[in-house]
Structure 1
Amino acid sequence: MKRSKIKTILIGLGRICSSLEKDPFRKKPCTHMGVLESQWGKKHFEFLLGLDVSEEKCQTFQSLWNAKTQLIPSDPRRTNFPEGVQLAVISTPSAFHEDWAIHCIRSGIPNLLIEKPVALSEDGAKKIQSLARKHRTKIWINHERRYHPSYRYVKDELTKGKLGNLRSIRASVFTSAKNPGLAFSKLGGGPLLHDGTHAVDLIHWFVGKPKLRNAKLEIPKKGSIESRAVAWFETKTGVDIFLDVSGGRDYFQFELDLHTDTHRIICSNDGFRFFESAPSNLYKGFRSFVPYEPKQFPKPETSNAFIGIYEEIFQVVNGKKDKMEGTISDNIEILNLIESIYRRKQ
Structure 2
Amino acid sequence: MKPTKIRTILIGLGRIASRLEEDPYRKKPCTHMGVLSSPFGKKYFDFLCGYDTKSEVCQTFQKRWKKQTETISEDFLPLPDGQIDLAIIATPSHSHEKIAKQCMLGGIKHLLIEKPVAMSSMGAKQLQFLAKRNGVKIWINHERRYHPSYRFVKKELENGNFGKLKSIRASVFTSARNPGIAFSKYGGGPLLHDGTHAMDLIHWLVGKPKLVYSKIERPKKGFVETRAFACFQTNSEVEIVLDVSGGRDYFQFELDLHTDTHRIICSNDGFQFLQSVPSKLYKGFQSLQSFVPKQFPKPETANAFVGIYHEIKEVISGESNHVEGTLAENINILESIESIYRSSK
Q: TM-score w.r.t. structure 1 length?
A: 0.98
C-alpha deviation, 1:188, in angstroms = 5.6
C-alpha deviation, 1:2, in angstroms = 5.3
Residues 1:166 and 1:138: Cα distance change in structure 2 (over 3 Å): same
C-alpha deviation, 1:265, in angstroms = 0.2
C-alpha deviation, 1:315, in angstroms = 0.3
Q: Is the 8 A contact 1:119 1:125 kept in 2?
A: yes
Q: Is the 8 A contact 1:30 1:306 kept in 2?
A: yes
C-alpha deviation, 1:3, in angstroms = 3.7
Q: Is the 8 A contact 2:213 2:232 kept in 1?
A: yes
Q: Deviations over 1:255-304 (max 9, x none)?
A: 00000001000000000000000000010000000100011000011110
Residue aligning to 2:18 = 18
Residue aligning to 2:30 = 30
Amino acid at match of 1:110: K
Gaps of 5+ in 1: none
C-alpha deviation, 1:120, in angstroms = 0.5
Residue aligning to 1:108 = 107
Q: Is the 8 A contact 1:204 1:334 kept in 2?
A: yes
C-alpha deviation, 1:308, in angstroms = 0.1
Amino acid at match of 2:34: G
Residue aligning to 2:66 = 66
Give, in whole Å, the separation in 2 of the partners of 1:54 and 1:207. 41
Alignment of 1:27-106 (within 5 A): 27-76=27-76, 79-106=78-105
Residue aligning to 2:300 = 301
Give, in whole Å, the separation in 1 of the partners of 2:146 and 2:317. 19
Residue aligning to 2:269 = 270
Give % identity. 65
Amino acid at match of 1:46: D
* Secondary structure in structure 1 of the residue aligned to 2:138: strand
* Secondary structure in structure 2 of the residue aligned to 1:214: strand
Amino acid at match of 2:101: I
* Secondary structure in structure 1 of the residue aligned to 2:70: strand
C-alpha deviation, 1:57, in angstroms = 0.6
Residue aligning to 1:4 = 4
Give, in whole Å, the separation in 2 of the partners of 1:3 and 1:315. 12
Give, in whole Å, the separation in 1 of the partners of 2:270 and 2:36. 27
Amino acid at match of 1:134: R
Q: Is the 8 A contact 1:164 1:263 kept in 2?
A: yes
Give, in whole Å, the separation in 2 of the partners of 1:92 and 1:159. 35
C-alpha deviation, 1:177, in angstroms = 1.6
C-alpha deviation, 1:247, in angstroms = 1.5
Q: Deviations over 1:172-202 (max 9, x none)?
A: 0000121223222242621000100000000
Give, in whole Å, the separation in 2 of the partners of 1:26 and 1:263. 29
* Secondary structure in structure 2 of the residue aligned to 1:250: coil
Residue aligning to 1:325 = 324
Amino acid at match of 1:118: V
Q: Is the 8 A contact 2:97 2:127 kept in 1?
A: yes
Greater shift in the superposed pair: 319-328 or 185-194: 185-194
Q: Is the 8 A contact 2:115 2:140 kept in 1?
A: yes
* Secondary structure in structure 2 of the residue aligned to 1:325: coil
Alignment of 1:1-346 (within 5 A): 3-76=3-76, 79-187=78-186, 189-346=188-345
Give, in whole Å, the separation in 2 of the partners of 1:81 and 1:220. 45
Query: Which 4+ residue blocks in structure 1 deviate beyond 4 angstroms?
Result: none
C-alpha deviation, 1:148, in angstroms = 0.2
Give, in whole Å, the separation in 1 of the partners of 2:81 and 2:294. 48
Give, in whole Å, the separation in 2 of the partners of 1:188 and 1:97. 14
Q: Deviations over 1:31-54 (max 9, x none)?
A: 000000001110011111000111
Q: TM-score w.r.t. structure 2 length?
A: 0.98
Amino acid at match of 2:265: I
Q: Is the 8 A contact 1:93 1:187 kept in 2?
A: no
C-alpha deviation, 1:149, in angstroms = 0.2
Q: Is the 8 A contact 2:187 2:224 kept in 1?
A: no
Q: Is the 8 A contact 1:73 1:79 kept in 2?
A: no
Give, in whole Å, the separation in 2 of the partners of 1:154 and 1:59. 42
* Secondary structure in structure 1 of the residue aligned to 2:208: coil
